[in-house]
A and B are shown apart, each in its own frame.
Chain A
């Protein structure tokens, strides 16, 4: 086994890792069952503005719509689940006293921290993929398939995506979601290299995410000017793949900004970890 595989094995050997999967499974099942029971009410609320002028036929409340709906509702909560592991992966070695044992072995500190970072990204991807599979599978079973109607309520805009295009767009959307969650994982990872326990990195990361979200949504010119530079502004990159036409330029810019965040955060974590005093 190489270092990365060892780190993945260690990560998935801890029960804490499965909190995210259990929580997501519970939320998805609950949401989809409730939506199935109150489908008419949801539809009326969603399509109220359109129904004034249009007769609407077809299966609007289908599995694809449910998937997009849950993703839209949960993309603010998933970061918390990511930090449970990402904030713990380095600091737990200090907490449990295994860090010295780990670092006296032949692999360099850089190799160790890189393996841990890759394992964090692997876990992040696993969480998002699990969410996607749960939403889509259960959604298609309970609600069937159909065209996707995306209701951008704050912009009062409805986007219609034909059924044939949806699987590819969903794949791209979930890939983009992994990309944006990688930034949250990177922040938690950096905090984890700085701390000796797991609570600090988890709370610290959530505080950063929440503060950035709040700043990004304040309706004042000062904060609006800052919005393009906040990583939270670009975290909804996944939604762009469910727009028509797909705003590729905007996606590229957001993807580049998120990637830059990941690189810088990992570079800082690497420097910090290489200089870390483990003797005291």
Chain B
């Protein structure tokens, strides 16, 4: 009996440790999500600057409309490219029920204590994707965000906030798009007859201003086609 006792105790301690770690990890994210429970909708002016070799475009202006949990709409003058990942603020995106969450480490971010969490989607259709969030432990804000898409593309975001009413909302998002790294000895793709490698890498700088929060945007508004922005 005694020879089983030590492994049982070890197993108990290990399991408890793992469960405790999971709870802590979820708690950091949960605090962040709960902080924005009162944010039902917002609209803001967007200025986007592209620093991407493959995309030569001037700065573009648009207006973004968001309604919790996942409705978003843009009104732009002319043609407008907006990053699919990490470009607009959606706190409901990181609902703890949808992810396996694990603490990576604790770091100092802008002289403040922060925790880095790894999020793996529970939805098997998104299982190739993963997120790494750097959350300010005092302010409960996502300061940085990293995701690897199913194609292996890495996207990093650094977010700067300001207070609008009772909410901290992003005023500046710097997005970095990176190509998937090639394995050693492997070329990314065969390049016939001098054609260039297909890649979109570079930075996108998004500035938000003139937030209007909880104005009661209707669901029907998001069902309509994207309107043309008058300037």
Residues of A within 8 A of B (CB): 49-50, 52-60, 146-147, 149, 154-160, 162-163, 219, 243-244
Contact = CB atoms under 8 A, between A and B. Distances in A.
A54 B79 contact: no
Contacts of B76: 57-58
Interface in B42-70: 53-58, 62
Contacts of B56: 157-160, 243-244
Among the interface residues B79, B81, B153, B196, which one has the most CB atoms of the partner chain A within 10 A? B79
Contact of B81 (A54, A154, A156, A159): A54
A58 B153 contact: no
Given A57-B79, A58-B79, 4 more contacts: A52-B151, A57-B76, A157-B53, A158-B54
Contacts of A149: 79
B74 A219 contact: no
Contacts of A155: 196
Nearest to A165: B58
A156 B58 contact: no
Nearest to B81: A54
B83 interface: yes
A163 B80 CA distance: 13
A208 to B, nearest CB: 23
Given A52-B151, A57-B76, A156 B54 contact: yes
Given A160-B57, A160-B58, A50 B81 contact: yes
Contacts of B7: none
A121 B55 CA distance: 37
A160 B83 contact: no
Best-surrounded residue of B53, B78, B82, B149 (most CB of chain A within 10 A): B78
A243 B195 CA distance: 19
Nearest to B87: A55
Contacts of B85: 53
26 contacts: A49-B200, A50-B55, A52-B84, A52-B200, A53-B83, A53-B84, A54-B81, A54-B82, A54-B84, A56-B80, A57-B62, A57-B74, A57-B226, A58-B76, A58-B79, A58-B80, A146-B79, A154-B196, A156-B196, A158-B54, A158-B55, A159-B57, A160-B56, A162-B58, A219-B194, A243-B56
**Top-4 shortest CB links A-B:** A160-B57, A58-B79, A219-B193, A147-B79
A17 to B, nearest CB: 38
Max chain A C-beta neighbours (<10 A), residue from B55, B82, B149, B199: B55
Contacts of B197: 156
A152 B62 CA distance: 26
Contacts of A60: 79
Contacts of A158: 54-57
B43 to A, nearest CB: 16
Contacts of B177: 53
Interface in B173-231: 177, 193-200, 226
Contacts of B82: 54-57
Nearest to B75: A57
Contacts of A59: 79
B205 to A, nearest CB: 14
Interface string B19-46: 0000000000000000000000000000
Contacts of B153: 52-53
A154 B84 CA distance: 24
A54 B74 CA distance: 13
Contact of B78 (A50, A58, A156, A219): A58
Nearest to A163: B78
A49 B149 CA distance: 14
